[in-house]
Every structure is written in C-alpha cells, then in structure tokens.
C-alpha cells in the first residue's frame, strides 16, 4: 500500500524520507540545547499552514507564547498573523508565573495543568481550525507534571512516562494529527531523558551540534521512520534567515 506523506517543506529533509513523514504519525525530535529543535518543529507548522493548507497546533510547555512569537519573528516566521488567520493555535502550557501568561481558553493556569487537560485542549484547538499538524515543545518539560502524578499514585517515573507517551500517541493519532514531540537530550548517548520515548513513536530524528574540528556545525540524522525507506547518514544543516533550517547539499 502507498503510504500517505505529510511534507515538512523543509528544504532537503523530505527527500531523505520518501517525501515526508508518514501522515498521522508521531515523530520524536531529539537534540541538546541550541541544535534547532524549536525552529525545525515550528517551521514544520508554518510550512503546513502556508504551503500545504494544513493548520497546526503548538503546545508550548517551556516558553510563553509572547517570547516564542518574538524568537520566531527574528527568524522570519510570523506566528501572530497565522494565529489571526486561524491557521495556528498556540496553547500556553508554560510553567511561568501568571503575570506572564496569556488569557483565554488556550492558556492553562497552574491549577488546570494536567496531561488530560493538555490533550483535551489540543483536541479542542484542532477542531477549531481543522488542524492536521501538532507540536509539543517539549515532552521533556512534562516531567514536573509526571513527578507530581507519581507521588500521588505511586508509579515509578519510567512507568509514568510510558503511560503518558502511550496516552499522547493515542490521542494525537486518533485526531489524525501528524505530530512532533520534542525531546531534550541531556546525555549524548541517549535520544531521550528516560530512554524509552524513542521506542514508542513512529519516527526519530536527532539533531547534534559539533563545536570543533572538520565536522563543526549542526547535524541531523533520521534514526527511525516507520513505513519509510530513509537516509541513515549524518546530514549537515544550516539556518537561513526567512526560511529556517535547510539540509545542506540537497
């Protein structure tokens, strides 16, 4: 059977995986600080909204939407316009103080913060704008929530992460969303904080930053992509103002 593809629109990336992500699947985007995870995932949403008529939902667990809009505007992504045009919804699930949080139905207060509330808001936002794509930035930031839950129900954190991952995967796939979950790498030998996340998703892309030598720069590797023949090489990426990330040489 032919696999339907969700084009990322990121120059050079789709060519590495038979035209794009398998449609409706969950992709883990792993990398350490400064490798471009937030840029690549936001670019995936922006390209979907502008190039392919596919609105998106962005769950921001670390930055406030205000800071996110400012950072992305500096690259050339006008998120505010996409929001006004109902092509993008940003869910403010950041753990910042209430003085910095936005108001409205897509901003969570500390009392509302739960995995169930977040997934319910994703579903509501997806229905509001007929979204086809989603990004959770980042899954690693859910640890605070998971730690609280562990203390309440007595689960080990690894069991809780597995339970949360299964729940998010089911919800996003049931909504028909092609989704990126961002994972922060704290150990260069691992693709995720707990070492199990990469086994529970449909695809894994890792980003790395080499600071010296002939290989200095940022690199991308497709570690896994179900239903897809994909490139397995280390690919150099670069940032282009107004465009975002591109794979060099393609």
Mean pLDDT for all residues in the chain: 88
Classify residue 34 as left (phi > 0), alpha (psi -120 to 50) or beta: left
Determine the pLDDT at residue 184. Answer: 87
Place of tokens 């080499």: 210
Q: Is the pTM of this model over 0.85?
A: yes
- Residue ranges per structural domain of the chain: 30-247
Q: What is the mean pLDDT of residues 61-89?
A: 95
The 10s digit of each residue's pLDDT in 191-232 is 666 677 788 899 999 999 888 777 779 999 999 999 999 999
What DSSP string runs through 8-29? ---TTTGGGGTTSEETT-EEEE
DSSP annotation of 17: G
Q: What is the mean pLDDT of residues 51-78?
A: 95
Determine the pLDDT at residue 38. Answer: 95
Determine the pLDDT at residue 126. Answer: 97
Q: Which of 26-35, 79-88, 148-157, 238-247 has the highest mean pLDDT?
A: 79-88
Residues 64/72, Cβ–Cβ less than 8 Å = no
The yes or no reply on domain 30-247 and CATH 3.40.50.300 is yes
- Residue 102: which residues within 8 A CB-CB, separation 6 or more? 64, 65, 66, 92
Of 223 and 190, the structure prediction assigns the larger pLDDT to 223
CA 207 to chain centre: 13
Determine the pLDDT at residue 187. Answer: 63
């Amino acid at each position: 059977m032919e696999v339907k593809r969700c084009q990322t629109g990121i120059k050079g990336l789709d060519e590495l995986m038979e035209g794009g992500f398998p449609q409706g699947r969950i992709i883990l985007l792993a990398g350490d600080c400064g490798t471009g995870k937030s840029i690549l995932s936001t670019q995936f949403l922006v390209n979907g909204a502008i190039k392919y008529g596919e609105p998106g939902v962005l769950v921001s667990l670390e930055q406030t939407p205000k800071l996110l809009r400012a950072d992305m505007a500096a690259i050339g992504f006008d998120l505010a316009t996409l929001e006004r045009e109902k092509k993008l919804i940003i869910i403010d699930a950041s753990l910042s103080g209430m003085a910095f949080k936005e108001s409205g139905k897509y901003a969570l207060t500390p009392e509302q913060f739960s995995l169930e509330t977040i997934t319910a808001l994703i579903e509501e936002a997806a229905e509001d704008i007929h979204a086809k794509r989603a990004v959770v930035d980042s899954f690693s930031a859910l640890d605070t929530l998971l730690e609280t839950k562990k203390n309440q129900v007595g689960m080990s954190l690894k069991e809780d992460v597995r339970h949360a991952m299964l729940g998010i995967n089911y919800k996003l796939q049931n909504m028909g969303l092609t989704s990126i979950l961002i994972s922060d790498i704290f150990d260069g030998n691992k693709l995720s904080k707990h070492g199990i996340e990469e086994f529970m998703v449909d695809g894994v892309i890792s980003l790395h930053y080499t600071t010296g030598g002939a290989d200095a720069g940022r690199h991308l590797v497709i570690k896994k992509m179900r239903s897809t023949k994909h490139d397995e090489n280390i690919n150099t990426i670069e940032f282009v103002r107004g465009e975002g990330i591109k794979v060099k040489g393609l």
